[in-house]
């Protein structure tokens, strides 16, 4: 029987370390529940010692999920391990994942520790974690640049101390595929007790080789892969979950492996993560990019019309990407809308969520002649990423032109009180943002502004994503509308509410 490859998803830990990503508790839980539906074997929910917010999110995910392992990251320190256990103790299948660097450069310049000290610390802390739960994963950070003899010695020690998974990270994305495969092969041949544990790998994409290295590791004996949705992660990111999975699924003639992923949930998961993180997927991204199943060349189009397999090695449906079609209009009822959501894979959203999205759909149907699945996706994702509406948009009015100074008048409501301010700017969007900042009394720095058309045509929904910073902390906002100015206003207000609601929650906690 084919060997099962376990999927250890670290979108909520390493993926959230992507510059500009800042997820709140509700958003992390939403992603975790979708990852559970996707069928991953383990979710690394966070690094609990790093912040109270991370701790609370990991604890809530541990409580809300039942059919997946929940891992918490910890350095080889008692306080980290204690905090990690406290966050995951309610999980049905808890995992403590502890790590320490083992490469010469890390030990010398970062840890300032000798090999003997690192060896002892790794062994002692795995044994310490073992008193809390059975499933302990250990990672020798920067294993790709670690001396093989020392790597073998560390792995033997942690296995003897009770580790159940040894994870081999290519922390800086330095190794070549054949080189990384040989590291795994060497571990299999030289580490006593390695047959008693699972070998996992965690590859970074600094040289664009994370997926290739991961697949090479599997070929040489790894049975678990650590990856992220859309390849998110520090610097150039991690091995992309969807690319690893679809490589195995598409090339069954080459890979004699199986997995537990429901591939029809891949597209839905990718869209959710993209929406909540504010990191748009590049059009030419493998598997989930907008162009992944697009064919422009005349030769390609001719081949596709004759036989799809000439240029498509997998089907859009295999990842849950449905063909656009007009199935609903302004006369459609809520039951038809709910049924269409079910067909699109949105099976677990609340009735309140559906109702709010339906109201937005009816407004859109009055403005657009044709409503496509992608329009509905955009409306649903906007509601998913909602935060408490401390400030609510009442109205906006824009004056702009090539011979006048752009001016915006914005009215926002808070606690029943309407506040109106006007401001000028370098264009209508800038003026609108300045007006809102005056109302809320917060000065923000716009780090990124992205606008894209959800579908084709002049009446397409415009989706705006903004990233703003306050005191060095990044916040994301998203808005959709057929009016791109309105979409911009909604996105900026979404980011503002995210900031204000976070401050309000902190004030209540400290009261």
Question: Where exactly are the structural domains of the chain?
Answer: 3-277, 291-321, 323-384, 392-510
pLDDT digits (tens, 9 = 90+) for 17-63: 998 888 989 899 999 999 999 999 999 999 999 999 999 999 999 99
What pLDDT shows up at residue 505? 61
- Tell me the pLDDT tens digit for each residue of 373-431: 778 877 877 655 567 889 999 999 999 999 999 999 999 999 999 999 999 999 999 99
Categorize the per-residue pLDDT at 459 as very low, low, confident or very high, splitting at 50, 70 and 90.
confident
Residue 436, φ and ψ in degrees, nearest 5? -65, -35
* Helix, strand, or coil (residue 482): coil
Is residue 326 scored above 60 in pLDDT? Answer: no
Per-residue burial over 186-196, b if 16 or more Cβ lie within 10 Å, else e, is: ebeeebeebee
418 close to 411: Cβ distance less than 8 angstroms: yes
Strand partners, 395: 411
Choose the weakest-confidence range: 170-184, 185-199, 430-444, 490-504: 490-504
Over pLDDT 90: what percentage of the chain? 73
CB of 85 closer than 8 Å to CB of 111:
no
* CA nearest neighbour of 422 among 405, 410, 406: 410
304 has pLDDT over 50: no
Residue 508 has pLDDT above 60, yes or no: no
CA 12 to chain centroid: 6
Instruction: Look up the CATH number of domain 3-277.
Output: 3.20.20.70
191: CB partners within 8 A, 6+ apart: 152, 155, 156, 159
Collapsing DSSP to helix, strand or coil, 197 comes out as coil
Average pLDDT over residues 369-376: 76
Based on the number of CB atoms within 10 Å of its own CB, is 71 exposed (0-12), middle (13-18) or buried (19 or more)?
A: buried
Is the C-alpha dihedral spanning 33, 35, 38, 42 positive or negative? negative
* Interior/surface letters 135-144, b for 16+ CB within 10 angstroms, e for the rest: bbbbbbbbbb
125-162 residue pLDDT tens = 999 999 999 999 999 999 999 999 999 999 999 999 99
Sheet holding 417-425, edge to edge: 392-401, 404-414, 417-425
Confidence (pLDDT) at 220: 98
Q: Using CB atoms within 10 A of its CB, is residue 471 exposed (0-12), middle (13-18) or buried (19+)?
A: exposed
pLDDT bracket for residue 502 (50, 70, 90): confident
Model-wide pTM > 0.75: yes
CA angle 44, 46, 50 (to 5 degrees): 150
DSSP per position, 341-407: HHHTT--S--HHHHHHHHHHHHHHHHH-S-B-HHHHHHHHHHHHT----SSEEEEEEEEEETTEEEE
pLDDT at 358: 85
Q: For residue 452, give the nearest of 479, 434, 422 by alpha carbon.
A: 479
Is the pLDDT score of 331 beyond 80?
no
To the nearest whole percent, how much of the chain has pLDDT over 70? 91
**Partners of 96 in the β-ladder:** 72, 136
CA pair distance 162, 445, nearest whole angstrom:
49
Residues in the chain: 511
Give residue 152's Cα distance to chain centre: 33
Which of the 8 DSSP states describes residue 328? B
Measure the N-to-C terminal CA separation of the chain; round to a whole number of Å.
Answer: 59
Beta-carbon count within 10 A of 3 CB: 12
Decide if 412 contacts 393 (C-beta within 8 A): yes
Buried b vs exposed e over 202-228: b needs ≥16 C-beta within 10 Å?
bbbbbeebbbbbbbbbbbbbbbbbbbb
Q: What is the pLDDT of residue 328?
A: 66
CATH superfamily of 392-510: Alpha-isopropylmalate synthase LeuA, regulatory domain (3.30.160.270)
Is residue 115's pLDDT more than 60? yes
pLDDT at 88 over 70: yes
Q: 165-170 and 136-141: which strand pairing?
A: parallel
Who's near 200: CB < 8 A, 6+ residues apart? 6, 8, 137, 165, 166, 167, 168, 222, 223, 224, 225, 226
pLDDT tens profile 259-303: 999 999 999 999 999 989 989 899 899 999 988 877 444 544 444
Tokens of 243: 């690319």
Q: Which of 129-133, 405-409, 447-451, 452-456 has the lowest mean pLDDT?
A: 452-456
């Amino acid at each position: 029987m084919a060997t099962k490859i376990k999927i250890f998803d670290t979108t909520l830990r390493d993926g959230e370390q992507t510059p500009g990503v800042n997820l709140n508790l509700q958003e992390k839980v939403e992603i975790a529940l979708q990852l559970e539906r996707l069928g991953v074997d383990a979710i690394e929910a966070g690094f609990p010692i790093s912040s109270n917010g991370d701790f609370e999110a990991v604890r809530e995910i541990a409580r809300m999920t039942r059919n997946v392992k929940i891992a918490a990251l910890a350095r080889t320190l008692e306080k980290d391990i204690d905090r990690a256990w406290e966050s995951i103790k309610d999980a049905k299948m808890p995992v403590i994942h502890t790590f320490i660097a083992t490469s010469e450069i890390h030990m010398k310049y970062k840890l300032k520790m000798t090999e003997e000290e690192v060896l002892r610390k790794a062994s002692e802390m795995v044994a310490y974690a073992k008193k809390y739960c059975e499933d302990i994963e250990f990672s020798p950070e920067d294993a790709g640049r670690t001396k093989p003899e020392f790597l073998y010695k560390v792995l033997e020690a942690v296995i003897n101390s009770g580790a159940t998974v040894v994870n081999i990270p290519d922390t800086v994305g330095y190794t070549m595929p054949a080189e990384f495969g040989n590291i795994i092969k060497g571990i299999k041949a030289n580490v006593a007790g390695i047959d008693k544990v699972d070998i996992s790998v965690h590859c970074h994409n600094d040289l664009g080789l994370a997926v290739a290295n991961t697949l090479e590791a599997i070929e040489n004996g790894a049975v678990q892969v650590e990856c992220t949705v859309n390849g998110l992660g520090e610097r150039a990111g991690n091995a992309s979950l969807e690319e690893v999975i679809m490589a195995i699924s598409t090339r069954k003639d080459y890979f004699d492996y199986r997995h537990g992923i429901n591939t029809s949930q891949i597209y839905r998961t990718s869209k959710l993560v993209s929406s909540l993180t504010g990191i748009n997927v590049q059009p030419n991204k493998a598997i989930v990019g907008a162009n992944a199943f697009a064919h422009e060349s005349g030769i390609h189009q001719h081949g596709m019309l004759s036989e799809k397999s000439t240029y498509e090695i997998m089907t859009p449906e295999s990842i849950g990407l449905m063909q656009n079609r007009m199935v609903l209009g302004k006369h459609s009822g809520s039951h038809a809308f709910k049924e269409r959501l079910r067909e699109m894979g949105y099976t677990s959203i609340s009735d309140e969520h559906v109702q709010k999205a339906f109201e937005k759909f009816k407004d859109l149907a009055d403005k657009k002649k044709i409503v496509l699945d992608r329009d509905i996706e955009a409306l649903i994702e906007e509601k998913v990423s909602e935060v408490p509406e401390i400030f609510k948009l009442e109205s906006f009015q824009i004056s702009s032109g090539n011979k006048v100074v752009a001016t915006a008048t914005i009215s926002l409501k808070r606690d029943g009180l309407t506040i109106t301010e006007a401001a000028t700017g370098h264009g209508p969007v800038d003026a609108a943002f300045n007006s809102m900042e005056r109302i809320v009394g917060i000065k923000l720095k716009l780090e990124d502004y992205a606008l894209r058309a959800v579908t084709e045509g002049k009446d397409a929904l415009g989706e705006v994503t903004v990233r703003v910073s306050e005191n060095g902390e990044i916040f994301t906002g998203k808005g959709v509308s057929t009016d791109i100015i309105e979409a911009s206003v909604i996105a900026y207000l979404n980011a503002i509410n995210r900031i204000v609601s976070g401050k309000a929650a902190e004030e209540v906690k400290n009261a």
